[in-house]
Amino acid sequence: MRISVEEVFETVKMTLDHHFDIRTVTLGINLKDCIDRNFTNFKRRVSKRIIDNGQKLNKFADQLENKYGIPITNRRISITPASLLLEPLPQNTQTVVEFAKTLDQATKKASIDFIGGFGAMVQKGMTSSDENLINALPSALTNTKRVCGFLNLASTVSGINMNAVEKFGHTLKDLSKRTKNGIGCAKIAVFANVPEDNPFMAGAHHGIGEPDFSLNIGISGPGVVRNVVKQNPNCDLTELSEVIKRTVFKITRAGELIGREMAKLMQVEFGIIDISLASTTSAGDSVAQIIEAMGVKQIGLPGSTAALAMLMDAVKKGGAMASGNIGGLSGTFIPVSEDAGMIKAVKDGTLSLEKLEALTSVCSVGLDMFAVPGDTPAEVLSAIIADELSIGVINNKTTSVRVIPAPGKKAGDIVHFGGLLGSAPVMKVPKVAAPDFIARKGRIPSPVTAMRN
């Protein structure tokens, strides 16, 4: 489908007035051919590949940003899941941490914002390399600034690995204690049905089914969508859905143009466009405020789930009409700390953890960037994670959890993270949830809907 320059210029106006941007260009890099039992050689190969390609990514991102006037906010790299790369090496914490530092230093030299993929696929079981990496995560993530991690703990085909879920609750507690306000926990997300081409952090990784290199684009325009919803206060919901679809169509087309041109300049394959609406701390750049502009008094009140479901459907349809390369998460993020409307709803008491979980049943990605008291037991954290992953497994969709136990904080306190991560009211959670259930471990089997062969 040909993309006209006029469409791009129309979209540029959205960037000036309503915070539309290319949220991220993420270069996926295969590192499997860098594997070496000699750790020094391995680190040298990895470092060179990241620096060389990261510098190219920045160069061409700057070039296209200047050409089209659309901000490219973040430049990122995702790699092959780290646990696969570390399998031939000594299985100890020191090796994992040293590899994380190598990634961090190379990313810094390339002037790349974040590098993702420091994680493992453990939806059915854990290898010794997987377990070693999970054990080392608290140390690795606190000794680096740009490294982000992920764990795929569940899938519709495999069920939920409750051994890994139980283990990760303790990992989170450890990681939280090592960083101010527990901010280290913002650098790792756990998933059910993680996509291999996700360009957004913290969960990005370059899947084993991907080519040597692929360029994935994440666009975002909640401010744009909010504006068109506010401009149409009297139309019915069918008409409103059409308005949102046309808007998402336009911004997706702009993302497609920039993504394809950039991939061509870099001489890599063009991967996907992720059409997720991602909030920021900027005024008006809020998914919650889209829902409220639709007519729901405040997100979290009755009607919120239906409105969010309609928004998700319209976003997906608009994106699918505009491009044949829609992928990644392609949903609507509802992070608490990064969305002014979500923060206000938690403070006002209209949005509880239980209602937040209900909202995630109709949208991507899941329970994101929310804070809980620092003394929340590990088994409660594991139970929250298990609940959210089960929504993804049963409904054959991606769900995720990024929870921050804030040391020394109690329900109702405000935790300030700074920058794009914003601030979060600490949400109330039970002190006891399902200790005996979590302690059983094992694996929750896959649902019957997985039997499709």
Q: What letter would DSSP give residue 180?
A: G
How far apart are the C-alpha atoms of 416 and 434, rounded to whole Å?
30
**What DSSP element (H or E) covers 354?**
helix 353-360
**Whole-number pLDDT of residue 416:** 87
Whether the predicted pLDDT of 305 surpasses 70: yes
Mean per-residue pLDDT for 333-342? Answer: 90
How many residues appear in the chain? 453
How far apart are the C-alpha atoms of 107 and 15, rounded to whole Å?
28
What 3-state DSSP class applies to 318? helix
Mean per-residue pLDDT for 290-314? Answer: 95
**Whole-number pLDDT of residue 70:** 81
Q: Are 429 and 395 in contact (CB under 8 A)?
A: no
Pick the closest to residue 77 from 41, 118, 39 (CA basis). Answer: 118
Identify which has the larger pLDDT, 128 or 71. Answer: 128
Burial zone of 12 (CB within 10 Å; 0-12 exposed, 13-18 middle, 19+ buried): middle
Q: Tokens 């479901």, residue?
A: 309
3-state secondary structure 245-295: HHHHHHHHHHHHHHHHHHHHHHCCEEEEEECCECCCCCCCCCHHHHHHHHC
Q: Are 74 and 23 in contact (CB under 8 A)?
A: yes
**Whole-number pLDDT of residue 451:** 74
How far apart are the C-alpha atoms of 276 and 255, rounded to whole Å?
12
Report for 269-273, 285-289, 321-325: range of highest mean pLDDT: 269-273
How far apart are the C-alpha atoms of 327 and 316, rounded to whole Å?
10
- Helices (H), ranges, 127-236: 128-142, 162-178, 222-230
**Whole-number pLDDT of residue 260:** 93
Q: Phi and psi (nearest 5°) for 402?
A: -135, 95
Longest dimension (CA), the chain: 67
How far apart are the C-alpha atoms of 43 and 326, rounded to whole Å?
34
Q: Which amino acid is it at 265?
A: L
Q: Which two tokens stand for residue 273?
A: 């466009």
Whether the predicted pLDDT of 96 surpasses 90: yes
How far apart are the C-alpha atoms of 298 and 301, rounded to whole Å?
6
E strand intervals along 209-297: 213-220, 269-274
Parallel, antiparallel, or unpaired: how do β-strands 213-220 and 269-274 relate? Answer: parallel
Whether the predicted pLDDT of 12 surpasses 60: no
**Whole-number pLDDT of residue 23:** 85
Q: Which amino acid is it at 250?
A: K
Query: Domain extents for the chain?
Result: 1-440
Pick the closest to residue 80 from 17, 133, 6 (CA basis). Answer: 133
When pLDDT is cut at 50, 70 and 90, the band that residue 16 belongs to is: very low
Indicate the CATH number for domain 1-440.
3.20.70.20
**Whole-number pLDDT of residue 222:** 83
User: 356-372, pLDDT tens digit by residue?
Assistant: 999 999 987 889 999 99
Whether the predicted pLDDT of 262 surpasses 80: yes
Count of CA atoms in the C-beta half-sphere (13 A) of 49: 23
Q: Tokens 């993504």, residue?
A: 259
Q: Which two tokens stand for residue 398?
A: 């991606």
User: 100-122, pLDDT tens digit by residue?
Assistant: 999 999 999 999 999 999 999 99
Mean per-residue pLDDT for 153-170? Answer: 97
Q: What letter would DSSP give residue 426?
A: B
**Whole-number pLDDT of residue 9:** 57
| Residue 414 β-bridge partners | 425
Q: Are 117 and 82 in contact (CB under 8 A)?
A: yes
Mean per-residue pLDDT for 344-353? Answer: 94
How far apart are the C-alpha atoms of 309 and 380, rounded to whole Å?
28
Q: Give Cβ neighbours of residue 22 (< 8 Å, ≥ 6 apart).
A: 70, 71, 72, 73, 217, 218, 219, 255, 258
**What DSSP element (H or E) covers 96?**
helix 93-109
Q: Tokens 């490294």, residue?
A: 147
